[in-house]
Amino acid sequence: MSDHPPDWHPDPAGRHQHRYWDGTNWTEHVSDFGRQSVDPVTVSAPLPATGMSAEKIQHQVQGKAGLPSTGPVAGGLMDQRVLVVNQKAKLIEITTEYAVYDETGAQIGAIRQVGQSKLKKAARLVSSFDQFMTHSLQLVDLEGNVHLTVTRPAKFAKSKVHITDGAGNEVGSIIQKNMIGKIRFSLEAGGQTIGSLSGENWRAWNFNLQDTAGNEVARITKTWEGFAKTMFTTADNYVLQIHTDLPDPLRTLVVASAVSVDLALKQDSRGFG
């Protein structure tokens, strides 16, 4: 951050949406959904982890998503062809947390919820009212660097998820197009539709992602982890496979789609997820 001018950026501590960088240091000034407050800079909380073994992750990739083992791609979190997103299992979910793995089962990142007030936590504990509130998730690597943030504003019907990059710059949006039948989203950037995300059945278990020519460029597969875990905990697990090299912003929106599936659907009165 040493070469960045003073500005608001995603909070590296993961407690708020944004924290102010004064050009030299992170400050105590924070912001959540446009509301500013003060929170001293302290050590970041540990990143979410599920304790899932490498063998179980590989089974999700190869056995359940049916993908051949080709090994991880050289590069960072956003460069991988396959990402496995596993939600941290909880009997009662107050804060949404996921671990992110490569196809060998090595954890390479995490997804953490930010900007969650005490009111939102209380609403999630005692009701389903939080589905109508604004929610925000950050995708971070193991060093805590923010790679993208997905924010779903308060909704009453269709979901719309906004995507920003690690510096807080706007990338695009994922916009729900229908409420009846197989659910569909458009991937939009710069005022243009650059792709789509479509559920393959009405339960929205699996999704295909296409470019504007109708070519499938990626796929999201929800893996079944057994009756007890699925019925009695909050855990959902997904495998994202990117079929080909994609230009940005489409690639970022494809990765954001895997981060956004639960955000757009799980907190939905229809009960998907």
Residue 198 is assigned to a structural domain of this protein: yes
Residue 49 is assigned to a structural domain of this protein: no
- How buried is 270 (Cβ within 10 angstroms: 0-12 exposed, 13-18 middle, 19+ buried)? exposed
Distance CA 49, CA 46 (A): 9
Residues in the chain: 273
What's the domain range around 243?
Answer: 54-265
Q: Reply yes or no: is the peptide bond before residue 10 cis, omega within 30 of 0.
A: no
Examine the domain organization and report whether 18 and 77 are in the same domain.
Answer: no
Tokens of 199: 């559920």
Examine the domain organization and report whether 76 and 109 are in the same domain.
Answer: yes
Examine the domain organization and report whether 141 and 33 are in the same domain.
Answer: no
Phi, psi of 244 (to 5 degrees): -150, 165
Distance CA 268, CA 225 (A): 22
Distance CA 44, CA 103 (A): 27
Distance CA 136, CA 116 (A): 8
Residue 45 is assigned to a structural domain of this protein: no
Examine the domain organization and report whether 162 and 214 are in the same domain.
Answer: yes
Q: What is the pLDDT along the chain (273 residues), one digit of tens a residue?
A: 556 789 998 888 888 888 999 988 899 999 988 899 999 887 666 788 888 899 999 999 998 888 987 878 888 999 999 999 998 765 444 578 899 999 999 999 999 888 765 555 544 544 454 555 788 899 999 988 899 999 988 766 688 999 999 888 999 999 999 878 888 999 999 999 999 999 987 665 789 999 999 999 999 998 865 544 443 334 578 999 999 999 999 999 999 999 888 777 754 443 333
Examine the domain organization and report whether 140 and 248 are in the same domain.
Answer: yes
Number of domains in the chain: 2
Residue 22 is assigned to a structural domain of this protein: yes
H/E stretch holding 193 reads strand 192-199
